[in-house]
Amino acid sequence: MFKLKGKEKVDDGDRPWLELLNSVEASTSTRLVTEMKNKRMVEKEGLKSCHEVGRNREDPKKFMEMGLEPPSNMPQSFNDCIQDLGGSEIKIIIQKFLQVIDLMSQQNRLSISLKQIKSTFLNEDEERMLNAKRQMAVAFVEPGLSLSVSTVNLAKWNIGSSLSYIINGDYSKVLKNNRDSLKPNAVVQIWLFRAQPNLQLGFALIKVIDGENSQVID
């Protein structure tokens, strides 16, 4: 048995061990740096691919190819639920593919890009409130068979180089309630309505086409 001396204590007689030790350290360092660079490249390419897929799939031509443009009418069950809430002024706001980030409870947000909405839907006071970085509580009809009605928040954020309306607040609870239903790349519609007695803003999330059932988002 022998005991390898520390580098600072190695004398000339042990020079081969010092050279071997330095060689091993250099090799290990180079390998770790290479692995880190490769990992960053994979992550970067994966993120780029994700963004490219998202942009392509949001193209209205894609929806036309799928027979989803113009959008289908609101299902009667949702219409009845909104009527029971005293809802009126029902109209579709956006049809979109759910992205992974829309389904992450840690992010707790569902985005509605201003570039993709089919029509404006806020009055001047509501728009002024959101532009002042404030949020407003809105009713939210969930996509499940039970048609549960939750309360979430509506905000307006800068995301990248564009503006988006954001549904957050208790949106993470909506995700939890519909964990088995909402998957990446599912096609959904977001409809607007106004409920009595004060014409409170409300939304309904309707799933049109299932997403990737094999992928579960935490």
Tell me how far apart the alpha carbons of residues 154 and 177 are, in angstroms, rounded to a whole number: 19
Find the farthest-apart pair of alpha carbons in the chain and give their distance in angstroms, rounded: 93
pLDDT in tens, 175-212: 999 998 899 999 999 999 999 888 899 999 999 999 87
Q: How confident is the model at residue 59 (pLDDT cuts 50, 70, 90)?
A: low
Phi, psi of 209 (to 5 degrees): -135, 135
The domain locations on the chain are: 12-56, 60-209
CATH superfamily of 60-209: DNA-binding pseudobarrel domain (2.40.330.10)
Torsion of CA 29, 33, 36, 37, to 10 degrees: -170
Tell me how far apart the alpha carbons of residues 191 and 148 are, in angstroms, rounded to a whole number: 15
pLDDT at 19 over 60: no
Higher pLDDT, 76 or 66: 76
pTM over 0.75: no
Mean pLDDT along residues 115-119: 89
Calculate the alpha carbon distances from 109 to 25, 34, 45, 104, 166 in Å. 46, 36, 24, 8, 6
Mean pLDDT of the chain: 78
pLDDT in tens, 150-174: 999 999 999 888 899 999 999 999 9
